[in-house]
Every structure is written in structure tokens, then in C-alpha cells.
Amino acid sequence: MKPRVAAARALAELLRGKGSLSSALPVWQSKVAEADRALVQQLCYGTMRYYPKLNAYLGQLLDKPLRSKDSDITALLLLGLYQLEYTRIPDHAATGETVAVARVLKKPWATKLVNGVLRRFQRGADTLREALANDAEFNTSHPRWLLDAYTKAWPDAIDQIVTANNAHPPFTLRLDLNQCSRDDYLTQLKAEAVAARPCQYSDAGITLDEACNPTGLPGFNAGLLSVQDEAAQLAAPLLRLSPGLRVLDACAAPGGKTGHILQSQPGLSEVVALDLEERRLTRVAENLTRMQVNATTIAGDGTRPQDWWDGQVFDRILLDAPCSASGIVRRHSDIKLLRTPDDIARLAALQGELLDALWPTLAVGGLLLYATCSALPAENRDVISAFLARTTSASEDPIEAVWGHPQSNGRQLLPQQDGHDGFYYARLIKSGPA
């Protein structure tokens, strides 16, 4: 199968509301030659990164939207526009290859349409840009509701957020400092001609100038390093770990933070990695095995500890709560299409339920670290403020740090183009029975 065919079919599933790129893409990538898989990923994620802008173009170029049963042709048109606007593929090659896909999709009637739309774009791109000059979605390549939410929360940082969201994410690693110092590992990378720099806020973080297959890096298979954004690397140090503590990592998959907790403090009495689905825990177990650490894995619902909790309290809880992922749009560009305003209220309610349910499992004097990869206060500061207001045994243990923006509760990191993702942390301490 050719790369553009695989990309069109993966994007068509997304446009039909049948999943995300993370679910559709691996299926269709597997149907192309290994050498072409990176191109399929580039085409899919690039098209979604600029979906609002490309869709605005398409609205100008089509007399009327295509029928839902022809979402594969809509996806194909978006792919063609992405190649013409954002890649170095020669225009004639991008157009010709994209037109050819319509035949492979068994829709020869669409060849004339695809060819006409793409050639019309080539001839009139400047005119189209002028017509769309005052369209906020076109200019920012963000859905209007999300742009408005960012602007309301962070009016002085909106340009930074939009720029970071539309950029390729940095490739960041976390070292196991028990095995090697960061300076020594940077020296090893230099000897391998791999350009890298230390992260600004995480003592264990390294960012490579170019993404690569991490399995080829020194020490990866021995658990020396893990792929993890700098913002996520801040979780383990914020837990104030010490020997003998029992720790719960709720919503643990894929296990990066679980591994960091275990590597940060080998003397913990137990770490329990909880996640809703057994299949997700398989990934956790694989990552922990590679990192050469052990945890107790449990498939269970964090809102129903009565179904899985043994009654033994935890001294530390990391609640990396399900969220809109509005702080990591650059890593999951299909969020621009998949998320809706209604999701925010729904997720905030779930976050509150998780806090209420897990709080009784925390020991008196214990700490709960609440985290999300969201940049929206409705999922972060507001959730924690509401929880503190209704929970007399909970109080904030303020995070003193040089990173992020202090909030009325917790600290917010906003996505940086060449730095960390958007992330939120709040640390709570328990003073008595729930």
C-alpha cells in the first residue's frame, strides 16, 4: 500500500468520528513498507496540525461539502492541500500522487475533483489567503472555541500557546541518574554525534536536536533513559519521596511516571500502578521491565476504589487525571478536531470524582499530587479550588518553583515551542480523616 493511501484511510476514520490518530494510524501504517511509515505519520499529523486552516481553504474551494460517505475524498483533499502548503514535495508530484489515490480508493469519479481543487489552489492561493485574512481559525489553525478558551485564560500568552501548538514537539529524554549523570550522558551522545542539550528545569532531562528511534541510543534497552517530556519529569520530585513509603500512581499508563517514581527512590515499600484497562497495563509492565523496576499493577476504576483497594493507605498518590490534553496539542494534533467545549465540563466532573474517591485511600499526613496535561483552568485550578472547598481534611502544600505560573491553587506550565509541554500541578496534604 502506498503512503498516501494509508494516510487518507487513517484520516477518513478520524473525520467519520471513528477514533483518533493514535488508534487509526498504527493500523494503516502497518500496511505500508517500513521505510514509508514515517511519511504516513508526517502526512497524518501534519494535516491535523493545520486542519482548521486547510479546512478553511477547502470551504472556499468546494461548492459544497462532500457527503459523509466520501470522507476518504475529503481526507485526500486535505492531504493534498497540506503537501502543497507545508512540504517541500514538488507541486506536480504532490498533485499527481494525490489524484492517483482516488483511483486506489475505487472512486475514479473523484480524480477530476481532486485534480481541479488542488490546481485551483495552486493558481489562487494568495487570493484565498486574502479572503480568509480575518478568519481567526484560519490564522491560528485552532478551532474557535479552543482559541477563545486559551485567550480567556492566558491573554498575554496566546501567541506563545498557538505557536507552540503548531510546532513540532521537541524530543526529550529522562535519564536514570542512579546509572549515569547527565553530564556524562551528554558526553556519550556527543561522541555518537547526537546533538543534545540539558533541559532547563528537570535535572534528569535531555532534549535532542532531532527526533530519533530511541532504541538506538546508548543505554535505552538497559533502562538508562526513557522518552518523557520535561513537564512530566517534574512529577516524581514533587512527591517528596523517601524510603518506606507506599505510593499509588493512579491513571498510570503508559508507565513513564511510575518508572520515574521507582528510579527516584529505590527504597519505597511498594508502588501500585493503577489504570482502567488491562491492555494499557501491558504497556506499563513492558516499560517497567525495560527500566528494571517493579510495581504492583492493578486494572481498576479510580472512581471506585472499593473494587480494587485492599484498605492499606498510601503515603503518596499521583493522580495524573484524564483531561482535554490541551497542553500537548503539538503531540496530538487531532485534538483540534476531536475535542469539543462540552468535553471540558465532562472531564472536570470526572477529575472531581477521582479526587473525592481517592482521597480516603491517602494516609493522614500524606501527599496527593494532582496533575493534568491541560492548559485550561477549568480542569486545573478550578477543580482543585472546588475540592479544597468541600474537603475539610485537605489543604494545599504550595509548590515553590522557578517554573510555571503560580495560580490561586497550584502551578501552570504553558507549552513552549522549544521547551516543555503544557502541564498543571497542585500538591495537597491530608490533615485528618476524609
Which residues are designated catalytic? Answer: 373
DSSP character at residue 157: T
Give the whole-angstrom CA distance, residue 429 versus residue 432: 9
Picking from 216, 236, 240, the residue whose alpha carbon sits closest to that of residue 228 is 236
Are the C-beta atoms of residues 294 and 269 closer than 8 Å to each other? no
Determine contact, residues 320/229, Cβ cutoff 8 Å: no
Phi-psi domain of 374 (left: phi exceeds 0; alpha: psi -120 through 50; beta: other): beta
Cell of 222: 538497559
Cα–Cα distance between 163 and 415 in angstroms, integer? 9
**189 Cα distance to chain centroid:** 26
User: What grid cell was written down for 342?
Assistant: 462540552
Segments in 171-277 forming alpha helices (H): 182-191, 230-233, 235-238, 256-264
Kindly give, in sequence order, each residue whose CB lies less than 8 Å from that of residue 150, ignoring residues fewer than 6 positions away: 142, 158, 161, 162, 326, 375, 376
The Cα-based distances of 363 to 193, 242, 252, 426, 431 in angstroms read 49, 15, 20, 18, 9
Q: What's the grid cell of residue 6?
A: 494509508
**Residue of 250, 322, 263, 253 lying closest to 284 (CA atoms):** 253
Peptide bond into 254 cis (omega under 30): yes
Q: Beta-carbon neighbour count of residue 68 at 10 Å? A: 10
Cross-strand bridge partners of residue 272: 248, 296
DSSP 135: -
Q: Could you tell me if 336 and 161 are in contact, meaning their C-beta atoms sit under 8 angstroms apart? A: no
Would you call 371 helix, strand, or coil by DSSP? strand
